Chain A
Amino acid sequence: MTDGHTQHHWEYSMFPFILALGVFLGVPLAFASFFQYGSGLAGAVFGLAGLLLIVIGIAGWTSEGLAENSENGYALTGLPIFIVSETMIFLSLFVSYWMLRLTAAQWPPEGTPHIGVGMPIFMTIVLVSSSITYHFGEEKLDAGDNSGFKFWLQVSIGLGLLFLGCTLYEYNHLIHEGFTFGTNAKSTAFYAITGFHATHVLLGLGIFVSVLIPALSGKTNRTFTGAAGLYWHFVDIVWFFVVSQIYFW
């Protein structure tokens, strides 16, 4: 009856629990403290504690994963499966947007300032370039050139940051013109969809950073880098839908 115990041992990792705890403190509790109970201090404490635990969790998890160095590649199937979910999130946002827009008496509704297309075109170029530069990095890695990989990865992260900077610049500009979250149906859809996409860019950058840090000391894993790239390309593709629906329609 105890034969099973002789071949293996129980597997442990403390990082999933730490990560889950961090998410619990850093998202629901921080949000509720700040928005529901109006306590900025409690919100900041929960938020920072949560963020710290999340960073510890991800760092520990990544180093454990790289130490095992398993190359089974399941993640390269798992990630596309997860992306199905992500696609449904964006689809439901777009459906909500279409419903708002197609039932509106007038579009854009009263109070919408002119939103230029120059900025989104520039942002598209930046984001597409970052996908291409990451691809260059992966090719370097396949050729065994670790420093080339690091270089192109850093370029991709820089371009991602530039993209987020553009988003912030645009938001700042529009909010100064009086176009805030609650202005009208257009602002609702605009901020929700572009904001949601920007959050995904931020998440993708987080993944890139957690690929970069071990790569600086020479540790890479082809499954991990492949998955990170796949996610980044997905975020890139979603941007085309965001641009076409929000800015050019």
Chain B
Amino acid sequence: MKEWIFTTDHKRVGILYLIGSMAAFAVAGLLAMAIRFELTWVGPTLIEADTYNVFLYFHGAAMILGFLIPGLTGFMANYLLPMMIGAHDVAFPRLNALSVWLYWFGIVLALLTFVVPDPPDIMWTGYAPYSTQYSSGNLSFYVFTVHLIGFSSLLGAVNFLCTVIYMRAPGMGWNQINFFVWTILGAFVIQLIFVPVLATAVTLLLLDKYLGTSFFVPSAGGDVLLYENLFWFYSHPAVYVILLPAVGALMEIISTMSKNPIFNYRVAVYGGVWGVVLLGSDVWAHHLYTSGMVDWVRIGMMVTTLIISVPVGLITISLVFTLYKGAIRFNTGMYYAASCLYLILIGGLTGIPLAMSSLTLHLGETYFVMAHFHFIMGMLATFALFASVYHWFPKMTGRMYNEKVGKAGFWLNFIGVNLTFYPLFIIGVEGMPRRYFDYEMFPQFQGSQQLATVGAILVAAGIAVMLINWIYSAISGEKAPNNNPWESASLEWTATASPPGPGNFPQPPEVSADWTPYDYQPRTAS
């Protein structure tokens, strides 16, 4: 126990992040099942309307703040980044430990939602004036959950930026670092600049509710749109905090498994990653097209929202063309990675109509929006995380997972998510509003809701199979045949043991000027 609670080693901190984020995922996932069962039949069935609102709140807050952001930045960056750049640890190991425990206490605080008499019911967005004036829910728990996890993320940002600046292996130039390292840099730059804005926004909620200030009280000269703007000024870029490490990990997996160097590495880095970081800061108003704003802002933000398809497209081109003429090995990690190419396509294409302010009048606040962002966050990013755990499983545990069980879990998950969200796209276009507890005015949607519930049951089974596979294989799986079972050329595979010991590298690595982490033998065209 003591070795884990007081550890400052980046790999153990990374595992702690993984455990925390999977716990948040499990709880938030169970709540999603409860929500889905409630919606399976018209009329109130399983849970109370108030409980439903609390579940919606917790599902959103825990999935985004507790699972996706810490899972894709905290866990992945901690476990992989120092080894990829040839460092023995991060720049500030104790700060790293503080960061993971602040995050864990953030999760504990969020879980207290289910114990306190007045749980927050304010969605993960906490919009004023409902959260400050009308809800009796415990706003302070929401605010401090954001603070704890946000501050943990800021410490991570400082730590990893310094780590990459100072601790690369001797000889490793900026164009030689893994694509994943670039995406982590991009994600943490976003966190560094935008998290404080969210922290301020929720702090102002706290001041309004408990100290009587009037930032969001229109009668006293405040403005509720101020909150929406501050909130989405962070929370849209947060999507890229999740997306960037996800595509970064996919790029590593696809390159390794197809034994090809990354197609257009520099374009994907400087155009793709940094294009997303740059443009991602100027699209937030598309979350409040219908809340009221002047036309030039609305139209400007529509243009920037559409333009952001370009850097995302550049990354996608690299993902797809890295496969071209590769010797592709389809294991479970690669199954998940390959399915992500499809998910990014559907998730991306359904974003385009939502970017258009005229179409949003119809599609906004319907199941269409909900299905769209679940395709990106709930599936693309989540599958990328699962792909990564499978891909780096031999590295983390020194053992192999069970391939057959892994693939069975994949098919359950993949068929399940499609079965869940396609019907929701369709009824969304037909007008089913999101967040409703009951849909007695739209009984024609019951069939689609039931299909979605069947899909959700498949996903639950798939996740259970996957978790059992991970836990069983980590304890008593077959020993990995060597330190590098996928024959990767990246430093975390070639130069460390599996699992790596303290200090990672038996000999501190040095790289030459023509070294790359994607140095695969060129093969003749067939």
**What residues of chain A have their CB less than 8 Å away from a CB belonging to chain B?**
1-17, 19-21, 23-24, 27-28, 31-32, 35-36, 61, 64-65, 72, 74-75, 77-78, 81-82, 84-86, 88-89, 91-93, 95-96, 99-100, 103-104, 109, 180-182, 184-185, 187-188, 191-192
Contact = CB atoms under 8 A, between A and B. Distances in A.
A85 B140 contact: no
Contacts of A1: 398, 483, 497-498
Interface of B is mostly: helix
Given A7-B506, A13-B94, A21-B101, A32 B3 contact: no
Given A8-B88, A13-B8, A100 B201 contact: no
B9 interface: yes
Contacts of B165: 77
B221 A109 contact: yes
A28 B141 contact: yes
A184 B502 contact: no
Contacts of B145: 28
Given A4-B503, A20-B101, A185-B221, 8 more contacts: A15-B94, A74-B92, A77-B162, A78-B161, A89-B199, A95-B230, A100-B223, A182-B213
A185 B222 contact: yes
Contacts of B193: 84-85, 88
29 contacts: A1-B483, A3-B506, A4-B505, A5-B501, A8-B503, A10-B3, A12-B2, A12-B3, A12-B6, A16-B95, A23-B105, A27-B144, A27-B147, A28-B145, A32-B140, A74-B92, A77-B162, A78-B159, A78-B161, A85-B195, A86-B196, A88-B196, A92-B201, A96-B230, A100-B221, A104-B221, A181-B212, A182-B214, A192-B215
Contacts of A191: 213
A32 B221 contact: no
B273 interface: no
A3 B212 contact: no
B504 interface: yes
Interface string B370-414: 000000000000000000000000000010000000000000000
Query: Which of A4, A95, A100: most chain B Cβ within 10 A?
Result: A4
A64 B497 CA distance: 30
A10 B91 CA distance: 16
Nearest to B96: A16
A75 to B, nearest CB: 8
B194 interface: yes
B496 interface: yes
B197 A78 contact: no
B6 A82 contact: no
A16 B157 CA distance: 17
Interface in B169-195: 192-195
A77 B166 contact: yes
A81 B8 CA distance: 21
Contacts of B215: 96, 100, 188, 192
Contact of A184 (B94, B214, B233): B214
B222 A28 contact: no
Interface of B: 2-3, 5-9, 12, 88-89, 91-95, 97-98, 101-102, 104-105, 108-109, 118, 138-141, 144-145, 147-148, 154, 157-159, 161-162, 165-166, 192-197, 199-201, 204, 207, 210-215, 220-223, 226, 230, 233, 398, 483, 496-498, 500-506
B223 A187 contact: no
A61 B92 CA distance: 12
B6 A192 contact: no
A224 to B, nearest CB: 13
Given A4-B500, A185-B220, A19 B141 contact: no
A11 B238 CA distance: 32
Contacts of B505: 4
B417 to A, nearest CB: 34
Contact of B158 (A4, A65, A78, A93): A78
B213 A188 contact: yes
Nearest to A12: B6
A85 B196 contact: yes
Given A77-B165, A188-B222, A192-B204, A182 B212 contact: yes
Contacts of A11: 7-9, 89, 93, 502
A15 B101 CA distance: 11
A28 B162 contact: no
A81 B155 CA distance: 10
Contacts of B201: 92
A27 B151 CA distance: 13
Contacts of A86: 196
A9 B192 CA distance: 32
Nearest to B153: A85
A181 B94 contact: no
B148 A28 contact: yes
B162 A78 contact: yes
A27 B105 CA distance: 11
Contacts of B144: 27-28, 31-32
Contacts of B192: 81, 84-85
A187 B213 contact: yes
B502 A5 contact: yes
A2 B501 CA distance: 7
A8 B9 CA distance: 11
Contacts of A84: 192-193
A8 B94 contact: no
Contacts of B3: 10, 12
A8 B502 contact: yes
B274 to A, nearest CB: 17
Contacts of B220: 182, 184-185, 188
Contact of B211 (A4, A23, A95, A181): A181
B92 A89 contact: no
A219 B192 CA distance: 32
Nearest to B2: A12
Contacts of A77: 162, 165-166
B231 to A, nearest CB: 11
B99 to A, nearest CB: 8
What are the 6 tightest A-B residue pairs by CB atom distance, in nearest-first order?
Answer: A4-B501, A182-B212, A8-B503, A185-B221, A20-B101, A28-B144
